[in-house]
Amino acid sequence: MRVTRRTMLKSAAAVAALPATSILPRRARAAEFSFKYGNQVQPNHPVTVGFQKAVDRIKEETGGRVEINMFPNNALGGDTDMLSQIRSGALELYTTSPLILASLVNVAAINGLGFAFKDSDTAWRAMDGDLGELVRKEIRLHGLTPMEKIWDSGYRQVTSSIKPIQSADDLAGFKIRVPISPLWTSLFKAFGAAPTGINFGEVYSALQTKIVDGQETPLVSIDSAKLYEVQKYCSVTNHMWDGYWCLANTRAFESMPRDLQEIVARNINLAALDQRKENLRLNQSLQGELEKKGLVFNAPDPSSFRATLSKAGFYSEWRAKVGPEAWKLLEKYSGELA
């Protein structure tokens, strides 16, 4: 068929009149709200795995209107960097230990007081209940929106490259890495140790190069960060229970309509409840696997550790720091701490 200039012009005009969607490849609609989420744990850690499930559900339930991009394993910097970023709005969502948050919100450290909770169920009840609400109220004063349910980190254990920790006396002069947090530093100074604040992303190299001789984390983190490669002993001290608050930058969170806020919060909270169960299961089952990887375990009597904290005035110091209201709520779950 002969194509003339007039035919070509008519065809071009007809194409131009068509809707753009009928002539362009179909592309996914851009999200109305695109947020960044950061954490300090590895991609295989239950927090990262659980949060990814929440992200997927949020995207589905909002029809793609809310998109959350994941940056685990300190991809956006260490804990202190991300705390600064979420306050400024450079980061919209972040999970962090309450004890890291305590550099900004003093009372947030209360869950980490030594030997406060007898088991994980008690810790969850306290943080889901009135003690947790007091902490969340204080967090909101700093331009941050905490989700209702705290994620689980679990009970922390002490690892060492030089000796097992059999009693509080073995911590005297012990060079131990702690997170950058006033309570962690205070706790191990009360034991007579020499704590050094180091972000989690730098712990492996600090142990490898002997900047410190030991560290303390739950078994899940020891496994996921492969700390068994640079540590020989693991002492099951259960010296504190810790979790992760999921925080949102309030300006970013409230920029969404209420229905989207509800979908985001609900799915993050549901993921936290699922993660608690998985994290507890792993912390209770990993000892055998870590022994196969070379860690030597011991289970010291906790009485010497608690007696040392009391004698050093640790509980009195922190009762004054967090205030009588918070302390009363803590002892509702922990019993008397002195």
Instruction: Say how many CA atoms lie within 13 Å of 4 toward its Cβ.
Output: 3
* CA-based nearest residue to 243, from 60, 117, 159: 117
Residue 132 sits in a domain whose CATH number is 3.40.190.170
Host domain of residue 151? 30-334
- The pLDDT tens digits of the residues spanning 137-148 come to 999 999 999 999
E strands in 27-91: 33-38, 66-71
Q: DSSP per residue over 88-108, as a string?
A: HTS-SEEEE-HHHHTTTSGGG
Q: 248 has which bridge partners?
A: 93, 145
Could you give the C-alpha distances from 269 to 55, 149, 272, 321, in angstroms and in order? Answer: 12, 5, 5, 29
**Which pLDDT does position 338 carry in this prediction?**
82
**Which pLDDT does position 220 carry in this prediction?**
96
The pLDDT confidence band at residue 30, using thresholds 50, 70 and 90, is: confident
**Which pLDDT does position 20 carry in this prediction?**
44
Residue 242 burial class via C-beta count within 10 angstroms: exposed 0-12, middle 13-18, buried 19 and up: buried
Please count the structural domains in the chain. 1
Give the C-alpha separation, 145 to 35, whole Å.
14
Indicate whether 267 belongs to any domain: yes
The pLDDT confidence band at residue 4, using thresholds 50, 70 and 90, is: low
Indicate whether 306 belongs to any domain: yes
- The pLDDT tens digits of the residues spanning 260-307 come to 999 999 999 999 999 999 999 999 999 999 999 999 999 999 999 999
pTM score of the predicted model: 0.88
- The pLDDT tens digits of the residues spanning 80-128 come to 999 999 999 999 999 999 999 999 999 999 999 999 999 999 999 999 9
Give the C-alpha separation, 139 to 292, whole Å.
42
